Amino acid sequence: MRRACVALLAGVALVAACKALPSAVPLSNTGGVLEDTGTDRDRQPQAALAFGGGSVETKAPPPSPTRGPSAAADAPVDAGAPVAAATAGDGGVVAVTWAGEYFGNDRLTRHFEGEPDDVELDDKAHTRVEVPAPNALLVSIVNSASGDVICALHATAEGATATLDAGQSCFGDEGSTATVTDGRVTLSGDRLVLDFSGTVVASTGDEDGTDDDTIEFHLDYHFDGRRR
């Protein structure tokens, strides 16, 4: 009985001595938590994390392009590319073909003081352009119903734009005179646009000459058509 008690006390003393020994696993200095290597791993470049621990070759970035002539400037010039037309500053002359028969729409508006405007529209309007001399145009407004020329106006052309000579008569009739004050003609491809203004002086007297009074009003004309 005594031997059993001595053996039991020896076992208890051995267990207490084992508990006092230091741990074989080293602890970090952060309060006993095992070192977390994930922080260091995340700080490493991904190229160093190849499977098997082998190194991965990292290609160096391409060198920055140096300043110099652009690729467009170094590209060869296409010999078959069209050559731009010479401008007036280069002494070049641009040929504009004005002559032709133009059909489209027109609008004649008579402005009366104190009264509504009188507007005439024609969706079969016809204008003829002739070139009697260099830079000189003859612009004729043609009656779309009869084919007769209502009036023929002279204009001076400069490229694709022409200016009507002032003082000409158009849309006048018996007992009235209609004088063109200003006008412009433009040509874009086969499209012709004509605009002019004028002043009309008309007699209001009787046929026998009594009560001979006159009235004055203004008119505007617009034509937009294409060459056929």
- Write out pLDDT tens, residues 203-214: 886 666 566 788
CA–CA separation, 76 vs 80, rounded Å? Answer: 12
pLDDT band at 167 (very low <50, low <70, confident <90, very high): very high
Q: What confidence tens digit (pLDDT) does each residue in 18-42 have?
A: 344 444 444 444 444 444 444 443 4
Structure pTM?
Answer: 0.57
C-alpha distances (whole Å) from 3 to each of 7, 11, 17, 25, 221 are 6, 12, 21, 37, 141
Of the segments 9-23, 49-63, 87-101, 124-138, which one has the largest average pLDDT value? 124-138
Stretch 128-144: mean pLDDT, rounded? 96
Stretch 180-204: mean pLDDT, rounded? 95
* pLDDT score, position 53: 43
CA–CA separation, 79 vs 109, rounded Å? Answer: 54
Stretch 134-138: mean pLDDT, rounded? 95
* pLDDT score, position 162: 98
CA–CA separation, 172 vs 177, rounded Å? Answer: 5
Residue 150, pLDDT > 50, answer: yes
DSSP string for 42-100: HHS-GGGG-GGG---PPPPPPPPPPS---HHHHSPPPTTSPPPPPPGGGT--------E
H/E element, 29: none
* pLDDT score, position 172: 87
Stretch 150-173: mean pLDDT, rounded? 95
Q: What confidence tens digit (pLDDT) does each residue in 86-119 have?
A: 333 333 334 589 999 999 999 999 999 889 999 9
Stretch 130-156: mean pLDDT, rounded? 96
* pLDDT score, position 210: 60
pLDDT cut 90: percent of the chain above it: 49
Degrees (nearest 5) of the Cα angle 20, 22, 24?
Answer: 135
* pLDDT score, position 187: 98
* pLDDT score, position 206: 63
* pLDDT score, position 41: 35
